[in-house]
Structure 1
Amino acid sequence: MPPAKRKSPAKISSRGPADVPARLPEGFQLMTGALSPADQKALLSKINDVILSAPLFQPRMPRTGQPFSVKMTNCGPLGWVSDKERGYRYQPTHLETGQPWPPIPEPLLDLWRTHTNCAGLPEACLINHYPAGAKMGSHRDQDEHEPRAPVLSVSLGDEAVFHVGGPKRSDAKVRVTLRSGDVCLLAGPSRFAYHGIDRILPGTSDLIPGGGRINLTLRRVTPFD
């Protein structure tokens, strides 16, 4: 199913010029309303099927064992996981069930083909579920071994205040509100930029029953041939 033309998702007002910063970091691309309301619902249905096969789990920080405020799962040949004993890594099986991850839904692969210039497909789709009050500290995606491939992210559900900076943690950060149906890309100079989620804005979308936000992050893990 090809991605639909960009429209404003349901229950979300159209952005004005002041809603998106005039200057975004080089290499960071924001495609607002890339998924129509119908495509958002269809994609959410496929993600729910993934979660039935590969249940959400709560990752833990290396060494300390501190739990993340989000729950996650994966689809694709590889999945990103984290626990106290072995830390951050990719592996081909679910952290708790030991079963292989389900395949990446075709609409996500279509988004990758549309918005990236990569010769190869993503190997991992990390699915993060953010309830109200959850956040994600500033970090870099650096566990992959193909630096030429971008990171593509899809937002579903409640709005989130997102920040993105530069390759150093101390670099100045830009903040933007990500809304349901938005797609963003970390590429080029922004591929290894620090980024994170400051907060979720509850009640800003009715896409997900009970509220919350789902973020889908597509990554290439191994080098291209």
Structure 2
Amino acid sequence: MIFSFSRLNLYSQCPYRFYNKYVLGKEEPVTKPLALGKAVHQAIDDIINGASHEEAVLNGYAATGFHEELMHQEISDLVERAPVHRNMGRTEVYFKLPLSKSHNAPEIQGYIDLLSPDGAITDWKTNRSIYGVQDNKQLALYAWATSQKTGIDRVKGILYFLRFRIEKGRIFSKEEMEKARKWALDTADEINERLNLLEIMPEERGKLFPPRPSRQCSHCPFASQCVKRL
């Protein structure tokens, strides 16, 4: 399994939801927040790469299959709040890297929303709430990947919350980036170990990937199954 921050983070939040989504392959519905995020990211990318505002918004809307809960105006409003201009950097920069030097090390992959010429990275957020750069490992992990690709020892990471026009930034040190890499490696190793045990003892899947009730349950399509298990 090739990992991403979202997979690792989902496992950390709830192993049971991870099991349903990534082991059993059960599809989760595309919610409005997910569709909105996809539309806005696509539109911002297009503007940076030379498209007009209207063309970019339409492209973003189309990328979601014109999701029935989305409104063209909401996409447009959020895109308009992004402090972007043409050719300000590389967009949707893909990376795939081993998490250690071991020959069978798990790999991490992801997309960086914007990589500036000076090596800074930006992640656009459509959230309805603001959180800190260090509240999860995503930006630090992406900074580590950027450091690996560019050789830069200190990487500036930015979260830009479009609804509020608020920027949260931090210059990540080598130590902070290494801590994020270590978290990702430890989490990936734990998942792989449990997947190996699952092959040997499939009847123990409930213990290997247990539900972890939290406030996230209200957004989980498998929550009703958890109620029956607990």
TM-score tier (shorter): under 0.3
Q: Which structure has more RCO (C-alpha within 8 Å, separation ≥ 6)?
A: 1
TM-score in terms of structure 1 length: 0.26
Decide which structure has greater helix share.
Answer: 2
TM-score in terms of structure 2 length: 0.26
Decide which structure has greater strand share.
Answer: 1
Rg larger in structure: 2
